[in-house]
Amino acid sequence: MNLPAPKPEQQNPSAVPAAAAAGRSLDTHLRRYAARTAGMTASEIRALFAVASRPEVVSLAGGMPYLAALPLETLSADVAQLLATEGQTALQYGSAQGIPALREQICQIMALEGISAHPDDVTVTVGSQSGLDMVTRIFCDPGDVVVAEAPSYVGALGTFTAYQAEVVHVPLDDEGLIPAELERTLSALAAAGRRVKFLYTIPNFHNPAGVTLAVHRRAEVLEICARHGVLVVEDNPYGMLGFDGQTYPALRSMESENVVYLGSFSKTFAPGLRVGWALAPHAVREKLVLAAESATLCPPTFTQAVVSRYLAQHDWMGQIKTYREVYRERRDAMIGALEAHLPAGCRWTRPDGGFYVWLTVPEGIDTKAMLPRAVTQRVAFVPGTAFFGDGTGNSQLRLSFCYPTPERIREGVRRLATVLEGELELISTFGQVVRRQPTGPQSPSPDTA
């Protein structure tokens, strides 16, 4: 692969040599950083994603929604009217909790998943990532434990790390988080005297695993957490994107006092607006708003107003139906191609919603070590290690089908199959490839790559 070589003479006076860029030396501020900053390191795969964004590479790595499906012309007219008639309000500071009209509309959306909530308990956030950051900020001291699925969302792991919380994983299977494993893990942590602050879970169309928590497991997960005195943080960006139009009862619909629910318009409308929300028990909501105020004063009024007007004036459910159809076709293309092309020994999940397939490769292949070779063959994915806080995941990888066309997806999977066959050939010739040291999550930012 041809990665751009560093120039011997940097033209940019601010640019520094690669060693300094990696934070290893030459940083005169090193002794000043907070302890938490030691955990903030750029991923070694980040540079690869810059290469992977070239048009000749089929990226099955990113989690970007397919915005060509949006009605941009009518949206444009709407936003123009918003600015012309309500610009003085829409461009002004707002409350840290978010604009009231939008919080009411958010309650109507959550009702579709069985949630009964009052707008007073909703806080609008700068994407649900910011909701996650605020929840972690108010609950986690250094050394506290967050329990999460194995694997879990890379962006969440980055946030937990930024607050020096430790992630302990609980296995999942095709029906999502395994209650018996959750029970076993929480008991072991209690016996070890660890403070577990919350379970972080993505019940629907999991990122990266592609599975959904079975309905019959939901009450059990809630009961186990309540009994252990552990809060449940339910992250649900994909819940409306079930390919057959199915929705599942939210954990929050079954239990209101021990659940913080995080929602987002990034996947059902547009991520560049950065509008998400947190629904929390009243006392927790108060802390969230104070935390949000110190972080950003208020979420952007303008993008909130854009979302509110979109919900009021558009057939937003119809738009979600369009998205579902687009993504179902792409899921079908990916699953079909995996079945047609992948070598024996590969296993993958079959999502009925969302953006992702989770692939387990044959014994001996290291997906992180394989990535540079895959990018050389013009296909990109996210290695499984990104989704674990403990350095495991070398035998897995995430494939996303949200952004490329079905034809590109098929071509990408064909290329991936070639790469995998090459790896298997190497192994049969030379024996198992030496694994790299596991390094855990390092903000590879694959969801925006």
Looking at residues 283 to 342 of the shown chain, list those that interact with a second copy (rule: CB under 8 A). Answer: 283-284, 286-287, 290-291, 293-303, 305-306
Q: Give the bridge partners for 200, in sequence order.
A: 148, 233
Which are the contacts of 346, defined by CB distance < 8 A and separation ≥ 6?
Answer: 338, 359, 360, 361, 362, 420
Q: What phi and psi values does residue 27 have, to the nearest 5 degrees?
A: -90, 105
Contact residue for a second copy among 1, 3, 18, 91 (CB under 8 A): 91
Q: How far is the CB of 360 from a second copy (least distance, A)?
A: 27
- Interacting stretch for a second copy, rule CB under 8 A, among 13-21, 182-190, 334-342, 410-418? 13-21
User: What is the b/e burial string over 266-300, where b = at least 16 CB atoms within 10 angstroms of the residue's CB?
Assistant: bbbbbbebbbbbbbbeeebbebbbebbeebeebbb
Shortest distance, position 198 Cβ to a second copy, whole Å? 8
Distance separating alpha carbons of residues 248 and 242, to the nearest angstrom: 9
75 binds a second copy (CB under 8 A): yes
C-alpha distance across the termini of the chain, in Å: 19
Is residue 23 involved in binding a second copy (CB under 8 A)? yes
Q: How far apart are CA 98 and CA 299, in angstroms?
A: 6
Q: Which is nearer to a second copy, 42 or 427 (CB)?
A: 42
Total of chain residues touching a second copy, rule CB under 8 A:
105
Does position 73 interact with a second copy (CB under 8 A)? The reply is: yes
Shortest Cβ 131–a second copy spacing (Å)? 10
Measured in degrees and rounded to the nearest 5, phi and psi for residue 69 equal -80, -5
Pick between residue 61 and residue 342 the one whose CB is nearest to a second copy. 61
235 near a second copy (CB under 8 A):
no
Cβ atoms of 185 and 149 within 8 Å: the answer is no
Identity of the residue, 43 or 349, whose beta carbon is nearer to a second copy in the bound complex:
43
Check binding of 79 to a second copy (CB under 8 A): yes
Single-letter amino acid, residue 27: D
Least distance CB 158 / a second copy (angstroms) = 4
Residue type, 165: A
Binding residue for a second copy, selected from 18, 36, 246, 435, defined by CB under 8 A: 36
CB of 392 to a second copy, least distance (A): 21
Compare residues 309 and 415 and give the one whose CB is closer to a second copy. 309
Q: Is 190 in the site for a second copy (CB under 8 A)?
A: no
For the bound state, the minimum distance from the C-beta of residue 381 to a second copy, rounded and expressed in Å, comes to: 18
Question: Could you give the 3-state DSSP secondary structure of residue 335?
Answer: helix
φ, ψ of residue 66 to 5 degrees: the values are -90, 90
Angle at 43 between CA 388 and CA 151, to 5 degrees: 15
Regarding 95 and contact with a second copy (CB under 8 A), the answer is yes
CA distance 204 to 194: 28
Q: Which of residues 396-415 bind a second copy (CB under 8 A)?
A: none
Least distance CB 191 / a second copy (angstroms): 19
Contacts of 396 (CB under 8 A, 6+ apart): 151, 358, 359, 360, 361, 367, 383, 384, 387
| Residue at token pair 């930012």 | 445
Task: Confirm or reject binding of residue 432 to a second copy (CB under 8 A).
Answer: no
Among residue numbers 251 through 290, which ones bind a second copy (CB under 8 A)?
257, 266, 270-274, 281-284, 286-287, 290
The nearest distance, CB 296 to a second copy, in angstroms, is: 5
**Shortest approach of a second copy to residue 210 CB, angstroms?**
20
The binder of a second copy chosen from 2, 5, 8, 35 (CB under 8 A): 35
Nearest CB to a second copy, comparing residues 27 and 175: 27
